C-alpha cells in the first residue's frame, strides 16, 4: 500500500484524493497536513511517504523553496504539485522542487489517480538524477547579485516598534556577507532614532545626512564617494548610519532616500534598509527600490493586528507585495496567543517564527549579530533556515549541512 501526504493549508485537495481511494489499483493511505510549518514533524513522525502532493498554498516562492528542501532531504519520495494557477514564482523554481508532475486545479479525478499511481510506482524505484535537474543550468537566480548590475535591496519594516527590525537587519547583513562573500551595506533609514550603529557598537564619523550635504554632488559623484560616509563593522558589513539628531533627520526627503539607495546599491551587492515602525514617505521611497520586503511582528495582539493593517495599506498603495516576507519574532508559548491562530490569519505564511532568546541581549552587548556570536543557538539556526531561502540552491544545501545540529531532522529545518 502506498502512502501519500497531502500538504496544503486547506483540506479540500486531501478530501478529493480520499474520495478516490477505490479508483486506485490498491487504495493508498492518505495523510493530510494543513499546517505547512509542521510538515517536518509529519514527515518524520508519520513517514516515510511515497508521494507528497503539494496544494496551491505552496505555489509561492517560499513555498516552492520549502518543497525543494524537502525533496533534497527525501529524494526517494516523489512530489506532485497541484496548483490552481501559475504560482508567483519562476518556472525554474517549480522545476527545482524536483516534482514529477504538475496538475492544474480543478483537476479531473482520473488525472489525479493516474498521476499519483505513476508517482507511487516511481517512488518504489531507485532514485536517479532527474533529467530536469540536469537540464537546469546553473545560471544566476534573479535574487543573486550580478556584476555590473545594481545590488539587491531588502527592506525590513514593521507597523509596531520593538519588533526586532534592527536585530533582523543586522543578522541578515552578517548572514549574507558570510555565506555569499559579497559586499553588504546596512542603510539606517530609521532617521530619527536609528540604532544600527548602537546594535553593532559602532561609532560612525559621518551619517546619511553628511552624504547628502556634498556640494555639487551629481549622482556619479555621490556614488563614487558614498563609502567614505560609512563605518565598517569587524565582520566586514558596512553601515550608513542615521543622522545624529532629529533636526537633521527632518531635512531628509523621499527623493534624498532614493538618491542614497541608488548610490549604495550601485556600490554594494546587498543593501539592507532598516526602517522606523511606520509607513513614512521616506520608507515608501525605500519600498519602491526594494527587491524584497520583510514585515515583522511580535506575538502580541496589537502587533499582529497592526501587521494586518500594514499589509492591507501596502495593498491599497499598490506596492508590489509579491516579494513580501513575514517574520514573527519573540514568539513565546504561554503568552495567551496561539502561534497557529496567528499564522492562519496570514495566508502568505511566515518565513520565520523566532523565539525570544536570551542570547540576543548577550550579542547586543558584544556588538555582534547573534548568528555570529552564538551560531549554535536555536534562534541562530531558525534564522538561518528562513534567511537561506533567498540564496541559490547549492548554497542553501551547504548552509543546511553546516548549520544543522548533529542529529538534524526535518523537524528542525522548519522550526518545529
Ligand X SMILES: Nc1ncnc2c1ncn2[C@@H]1O[C@H](COP(=O)(O)OP(=O)(O)OP(=O)(O)O)[C@@H](O)[C@H]1O
Residues that bind Mg ion (CB under 5 A): 165-166
Give exposure, 81-117, as e/b (b: 16+ Cβ within 10 Å). Answer: bbbeeebbbeeebbbbbbbbbbbebeeeeeebbebbb
> Contacting ligand X (CB under 6 A), which of 162, 367, 375, 409?
162
The string of DSSP letters for 67-118 reads HHHHHHH-TTSEEEEEESS--BS-HHHHHTTT-SEEEESS--HHHHHHHHHH
Q: Is 155 helix (H, G, I), strand (E, B) or coil?
A: strand
Q: State the minimum distance, in angstroms, from the CB of residue 356 to ligand X.
A: 4
> Contacting ligand X (CB under 6 A), which of 67, 103, 163, 184?
163
d(CA 377, CA 127): 35
> Contacting ligand X (CB under 6 A), which of 10, 19, 140, 161?
161
Q: State the minimum distance, in angstroms, from the CB of residue 136 to ligand X.
A: 36
Residue 197 touches ligand X, criterion: CB under 6 A: no
Residue 270 touches ligand X, criterion: CB under 6 A: no
For 176, 248, 388, the CA distances from 240, given in Å and listed in that order, are 17, 15, 24
* Residue nearest to Mg ion as judged by C-beta position: 166
- x/- contact string, 356-375, with ligand X (CB under 6 A)? xx--x---x-----------
With respect to Mg ion, which residue has the nearer C-beta, 167 or 414? 167
With respect to Mg ion, which residue has the nearer C-beta, 83 or 209? 209
Residue 399 touches ligand X, criterion: CB under 6 A: no
For 251, 277, 398, the CA distances from 243, given in Å and listed in that order, are 10, 17, 39
Residue 154 touches ligand X, criterion: CB under 6 A: no
Residues near 193 by beta carbon (within 8 Å), at least 6 away in sequence: 242, 276
Please work out, in degrees rounded to the nearest 5, the angle formed at the alpha carbon of residue 99 by the alpha carbons of 98 and 102: 145
With respect to ligand X, which residue has the nearer C-beta, 263 or 279? 279
Report how many residues bind ligand X under the rule CB under 6 A.
19
Residue 192 — φ and ψ, nearest 5°? Answer: -75, -45
Residues near 106 by beta carbon (within 8 Å), at least 6 away in sequence: 84
- Per DSSP, which regions of 312-410 are E strands? 324-329, 350-353
Residue 161 binds which of ligand X, Mg ion, none (CB < 5-8 A, kind-dependent): ligand X
Q: State the minimum distance, in angstroms, from the CB of residue 198 to Mg ion.
A: 9
d(CA 304, CA 325): 15
Residue 163 binds which of ligand X, Mg ion, none (CB < 5-8 A, kind-dependent): ligand X
With respect to Mg ion, which residue has the nearer C-beta, 96 or 165? 165
> Contacting ligand X (CB under 6 A), which of 56, 164, 204, 386?
164
With respect to Mg ion, which residue has the nearer C-beta, 66 or 165? 165
With respect to Mg ion, which residue has the nearer C-beta, 166 or 207? 166
Residue with cell 479525478: 109
Task: Choose among 74, 143, 90, 169: nearest CA to 395.
Answer: 143
Residue 171 touches ligand X, criterion: CB under 6 A: no
Task: Choose among 243, 249, 205: nearest CA to 227.
Answer: 205
Q: State the minimum distance, in angstroms, from the CB of residue 155 to ligand X.
A: 13
d(CA 201, CA 213): 25
- x/- contact string, 302-331, with ligand X (CB under 6 A)? ---------------------------xx-
> Contacting ligand X (CB under 6 A), which of 32, 71, 158, 343?
158
Q: State the minimum distance, in angstroms, from the CB of residue 13 to Mg ion.
A: 41
Among the residue ranges 113-121, 165-173, 222-230, 394-402, the one whose residues contact ligand X (CB under 6 A): 165-173
Residue 248 touches ligand X, criterion: CB under 6 A: no
- The grid cell for 229 is 560616509
> Contacting ligand X (CB under 6 A), which of 354, 377, 387, 391?
354
- The grid cell for 293 is 520586503
Q: Which positions touch ligand X (CB under 6 A)?
A: 158, 161-167, 190, 195, 277, 329-330, 354, 356-357, 360, 364, 379
Amino acid at each position: 500500500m502506498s502512502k501519500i501526504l497531502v500538504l496544503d493549508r486547506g483540506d479540500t485537495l486531501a478530501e478529493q484524493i480520499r474520495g478516490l481511494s477505490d479508483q486506485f489499483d490498491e487504495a493508498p493511505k492518505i495523510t493530510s497536513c494543513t499546517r505547512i510549518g509542521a510538515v517536518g514533524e509529519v514527515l518524520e513522525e508519520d513517514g516515510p511517504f511515497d508521494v507528497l502532493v503539494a496544494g496551491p498554498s505552496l505555489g509561492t516562492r517560499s513555498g516552492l523553496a520549502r518543497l525543494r528542501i524537502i525533496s533534497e532531504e527525501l529524494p526517494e519520495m516523489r512530489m506532485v504539485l497541484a496548483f490552481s494557477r501559475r504560482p508567483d514564482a519562476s518556472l525554474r523554481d517549480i522545476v527545482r522542487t524536483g516534482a514529477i508532475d504538475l496538475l492544474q486545479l480543478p483537476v479531473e479525478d482520473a488525472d489525479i489517480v493516474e498521476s499519483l499511481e505513476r508517482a507511487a510506482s516511481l517512488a518504489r524505484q531507485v532514485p536517479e538524477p532527474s533529467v530536469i535537474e540536469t537540464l537546469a543550468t546553473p545560471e544566476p537566480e534573479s535574487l543573486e547579485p550580478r556584476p555590473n548590475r545594481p545590488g539587491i535591496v531588502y527592506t525590513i519594516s514593521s507597523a509596531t516598534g520593538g519588533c526586532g527590525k534592527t536585530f533582523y537587519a543586522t543578522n541578515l547583513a552578517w548572514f549574507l556577507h558570510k555565506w555569499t562573500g559579497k559586499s553588504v551595506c546596512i542603510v539606517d533609514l530609521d532617521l530619527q532614532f536609528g540604532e544600527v550603529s548602537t546594535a553593532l557598537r559602532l561609532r560612525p564619523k559621518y551619517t546619511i545626512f553628511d552624504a547628502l550635504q556634498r556640494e555639487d554632488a551629481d549622482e556619479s559623484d555621490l556614488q563614487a564617494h558614498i563609502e567614505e560616509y560609512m563605518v565598517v563593522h569587524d565582520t566586514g558589513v558596512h553601515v550608513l548610519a542615521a543622522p545624529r539628531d532629529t533636526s537633521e533627520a527632518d531635512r531628509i526627503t523621499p527623493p534624498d532616500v532614493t538618491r542614497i539607495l541608488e548610490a549604495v546599491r550601485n556600490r554594494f551587492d546587498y543593501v539592507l534598509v532598516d526602517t522606523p515602525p511606520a509607513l513614512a514617505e521616506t520608507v515608501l521611497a525605500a519600498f519602491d527600490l526594494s527587491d524584497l520586503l520583510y514585515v515583522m511582528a511580535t506575538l502580541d495582539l496589537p502587533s499582529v493586528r497592526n501587521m494586518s493593517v500594514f499589509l492591507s495599506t501596502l495593498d491599497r498603495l499598490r506596492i508590489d507585495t509579491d516579494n513580501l516576507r513575514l517574520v514573527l519574532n519573540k514568539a513565546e508559548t504561554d503568552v495567551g496567543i496561539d502561534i497557529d491562530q496567528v499564522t492562519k490569519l496570514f495566508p502568505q505564511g511566515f518565513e520565520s517564527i523566532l523565539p525570544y532568546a536570551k542570547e540576543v541581549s548577550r550579542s547586543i552587548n558584544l556588538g555582534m549579530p547573534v548568528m555570529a556570536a552564538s551560531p549554535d543557538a536555536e534562534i541562530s539556526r531558525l534564522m538561518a533556515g528562513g534567511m537561506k531561502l533567498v540564496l541559490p540552491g547549492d548554497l542553501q544545501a551547504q548552509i543546511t549541512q553546516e548549520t544543522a545540529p548533529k542529529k538534524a531532522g526535518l523537524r528542525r529545518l522548519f522550526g518545529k
